[in-house]
Structure 1
């Protein structure tokens, strides 16, 4: 039980200390002072108790003077209480020792008690000096978060000023010390009223006065003062109402802009009390639908909505008020013969005193948005259907072409075995080239159809360009059919989608291998500028005539379809697909070519994708 009482007392003391800290009633320095006083008090009482064992009778009473003196100096209002407790403890211990049989001089006990009281009285008289009082209060004023100052009651001379108070007047705290407060009064009548009120009542609350600042500006402030009687000081608090008026003006201006925004919005804004009565209604398009916002004020929601929807809305209002959480729901209603869908959001709001008053909400017409969503779903379904059609068509076209191409190639590779004449062999080669070209068109059509129908989401990341090009070359086995020089420095890194850029490089390298002549050589190089990366794929192939350079990026351009890809090489995307992927990165592909000498395809990729 004693431990429980001690725990409760400790908790109560902790709450009291925290409360006093928040109120700036004492600081951390005061805590240290309390600990010092309590420590010396405990030492004094313990020395008195053990004095018979150590023959410390002459010394132990003198120790009491230390906590008494410190308490009287540091805590004048509690000094008498501390002295009384110490004297009572001293007397009780001496009486207890006497009962135990120790030789106790009662006369000396009385003299020591009188000494303690004399020390307390003398210290209290000495502590009335304004300088000592100021030292006790200075730390509190300087550390406070409020605008405060201490002044002498007789001369009104400033003795201590907080930083916030000095900032209001345009000074530093040190500059204000020693200046009479009357120098800052702009109105002599205010100063006279202040002095009269403080002498008569000892307190002034929120007195409106005008003070001069350092730069000559007049500041309207609220001045609250109280007389610290034991310390013989005036403690004053200043509130800069000019700043508050400025903040209030800004608040009113912001509120005006908000109301202007509400009045220009196509959304509905409304307020209702707990019973459902409309307190505010604003809608820019109200007149188009024959509604008058002013006529709705003071009416129930049934004046605006049909009975079933009004009941549904009020159910949501009661739920929001009960749970004090916002709610969102949809309302479908007919306005001017047209069915409209509104997305409604309501939330609780409180009055000035903090009591729950009602709800505030907005309603947005989402009819067109819903139609667009339905249209997007329909389009998505159609795209899926078209994908299926493309897949089916491509399968039906590929099925007869694959055996045709295979058999023609087999016959042409060994014309003697099949007894072909030169004329027949030439005709079959022409048929094979046409079949290869038709197969390439089918593959390109499928590829482009899927690409244009699908949304391409780039996964942009840091790419080591030299490694990416190397993987394309080795993965496609291009280095086995041509001499390829990867001249890109190891240190080059770009931002982009590695999968898409691999396909782009793959398409250009495949193109360079396919349209090349022995000795087949390909160079892959890099250049950079402040804004772009440039990747060049150069070859010594057959080159491109100027009249077809613009056509090679068209979706269904097929050049030299009869040429064979290297054995084992996967089919690379065409130039049109590669160009689209580069465009998605914000770049482009350009070509320079000379017939009979070779071509250079340059990929430009911005540094910031």
Structure 2
């Protein structure tokens, strides 16, 4: 969780401090480089390098970014005026470039504000949904967000839910283990019925459906089906007692006897727009939208007919007013007045599906913005690097002192780091779009390890012991596995304490279904808090500001994790602070079926 500081009566987070520092550093660097270039009469001055701080600031602070664009425009105009005057063409050109700073910042600010407004609107839908919706971390199970319906359902206040372990809601440990097994299968799950505990420790039945928003975040919808369960248990009792339960159910309930509707609760009548008299005796199929009617399975008239009940089914309905609504159906046999009848529970998911589609569309749009921004941010780095190289390679020619040259060398290193961050951001944006194919081949692991150690120069930096069978071959994408091992090995070397000792061991047995390659170091270790963060993608300000203080947190580990997941595997971490860490790469011995990997 971010920490905050109080400065002159204003509260500011550490993240914002880092962002402002990066913006200020980039702005001053651009002014400094432009000043030197103009002073030394460099033939071509690239005004585009100012877009780097302007776009960065506008992305996080749209309105402040406009002020920064104006400031950069004035500074650039003043600097250029001093060296271009009285060249009229030059003055017009520089003025146009300065105006362009402000125009581009205004466009970026406009679209950023629109995205923020859309997020606010979708959050409103999220909060007012009739479904309980929870977003939790797949690794730590910590709840990131929960809507008011889930809060009311469980009896917890919203502030109490934030950060709670989602798995602790399960009433029985057996159900909790079953949940872990389903979640670990990396597949989306629907119709997972179990019992939750309220804050009062009272158990109640729920129906869970979840899907992954990204590699770390899981969206779970929670439907309170306690009343439906009570209705099933009370099905052998008289209809009056049954109606007292179903009339107040938040989900729609329909009883079909002999293919005709014999009972509907108020929620279903509100869903369709028909009253009880209009629905009584009506064929249930007549309520289904014509587009789905032919595909809807025929409903059996008794459990003895031999026709199995349909599973969880999503169906479009046409209401009395002609509106199309979407519902999820559950089917159960009951007895009504001594004869078998079909109990149908209907959950209105119309708004949920609209919200889901909107969120997916917005997610794709945001990934596009990130990808475009990464490409655009790459462009100004090339001229900056060129100028720095020119100044540092010929210091005498341009009058660069040793002190200035040392500063420029540090700037060059920082720019190279920024280029790596940008490249990794682009790689992640492609990975999130699921456009990376896996090209399987037979990979000789000992040869691959020797190649990685030699190309990275790790053998000269640490004592590396390899305990891998000499004939070990795995079925994997060699390039991606090399990237994963290289990332793990680089971290092990960089964060080990002298004398650096690294051990690479193959720890799978013949009976295991996974190849397991463990990389152990004698480094600084990782705290329990950091273990929740090391594979999470951070924003560029966090990465640039944290540096080594963040331990192993960074984009490279996020990429490594995603590559292993594309193989159907995972990465586990064991660590003791000030003793060392062991990263274990788990790759299936049998390649997963096509389409089985997220």
**Same topology, TM > 0.5:** no
Larger Rg: 1
Higher RCO (CA 8 Å, separation ≥ 6 residues):
2
**Alignment TM class, shorter chain as reference:** 0.3 to 0.5
TM-score (norm 2): 0.36
TM-score (norm 1): 0.36
